[in-house]
Amino acid sequence: MKIAVVAQALAGCGPDEVGAIFQREWLARRPQDDVEVQLGSDGVLVDDVGTGLDVVFRSRYPDSVEMVRERPERAVHYDVSAKVGMIDLACNRTWPQVEQANEMVGGWVDHAVPPHGSSAYLAEDIRELIERGARRIHLHLPRLFADSDLGWGFLAELSGIAVGQQSTVDDLRAVLSAARQRLLTCRIDVTYAGDLSLSGVNGMARAWASAGMDPLHAQEAEKDIGAWSALMVKASQNEENTLLARPQVDVRSVYTGVGGGLAYVLAVLGAGIFHVGSYIPHAYWPEGDSEAELFVYVTDTIGLEVPAGLNEMVARAEELAAPAVLLTRYDQVRRGDARRLGLDGHYQLLNRLGTAAQDNSPINIPQQLAQTVQKLAQTWGWD
């Protein structure tokens, strides 16, 4: 029997450790089976791990090196032989989980403080990767970005032209043209974990408010965002009706507010925009599940939104008429929801989150996972 497993981080355990435990425990019960593990990530923060995207990248590019980046801290990786880079801004720059020394409240940044800080460092990272020979860069953005300057710092640094909210349409058009020139030799693939609940940049401020920002700050931010988006739309319009004209990016798209508007800016510059769960299988996995008889998706938590990666796996399982099973540390998937999602099995390591501290501790996750995988092998294994 062949089992295809999508292994993602659980609290305290990286995707590689999760995959190793799953394979070991399943084969201990059914040594004749073939367990094929692919490392994945839903692109969100997992306790004591991060997003796990660095592990996914290294599994595909084992010769890659990490480029240490501080002020702000972020994860940048590059494989010189493959000419592929990866920048994960969600790992350290997600709002409001980012620590700020001058605004600490109980160890974490005060939710009432709006995101602030320049995004210029992202342009520096991309420019350095291109100078090192990168032909493709995978950039992962958080849904809510700690350094949300609406991409002004990024555009100014990348283009070499000063730009800001007071710039004219012609000024910004020149900036966008210069920035595109810098990216001509490199493909930028932008991923994100999920759509904003209110689509487009107009939903950005409301998403911040829903996450805990002071409503007055959110209202002020919404005014700035409205002016910025109107300026960007006008500047990005290509007046030349030629075959080389770029398609207009819809500012109301569900992804445009992601990364504090950086997703929209990068789309205007020609980057591809993808759900991370849909992107990883094509970018990092070899083909090999064509004969799988069981599909298992392991991830930390699932809230109200279903990860794109889970939908991808379920669709693949349906193509092969194979059962699909979900295993999480904790989720809000009810029994009726599981069938609607196309799941044939649904397991949780914890019955509910936030009960006994010793049960929720990451220290116990490996043992809990091992016991659950043994149960899976007994239930779903057949000859």
Numbered ranges of CATH 3.40.50.10350 in the chain? 2-39+293-380
Residues 6 or more apart from 102 whose CB is under 8 A from it? none
Instruction: Flag whether pLDDT at 221 surpasses 60.
Output: yes
CATH 3.10.129.10 fits 53-278, yes or no: no
Beta bridge partners of 348: 328
- Is the domain spanning 2-39+293-380 CATH 3.40.50.10350? The answer is yes
Report pLDDT digits (tens) over 61-110. Answer: 999 999 878 778 788 999 999 999 999 999 888 877 444 433 333 333 44
Residues 235-240, mean pLDDT to the nearest whole number: 68
Task: Calculate helix-pair angle for 276-284, 308-319, nearest 10 degrees.
Answer: 60
In this prediction, residue 107 carries a pLDDT of 36
**pLDDT tens digit sequence for 289-348:** 568 999 999 999 988 788 999 999 999 999 999 999 999 998 888 877 888 899 999 999
* Section 168-191 average pLDDT: 94
With tokens 């009432």, the residue in question is: 112
Instruction: Kindly report, as residue ranges, where domains of CATH 3.90.1510.10 are found in the chain.
Output: 53-278
Question: What is the predicted pLDDT for the residue at 342?
Answer: 92
Q: What pTM does this model have?
A: 0.89
Angle at 189 between CA 164 and CA 300, to 5 degrees: 105
Residue in 354, 379, 362 with CA at minimum distance from that of residue 18: 362
Nearest to 84 by CA among 70, 65, 105: 65
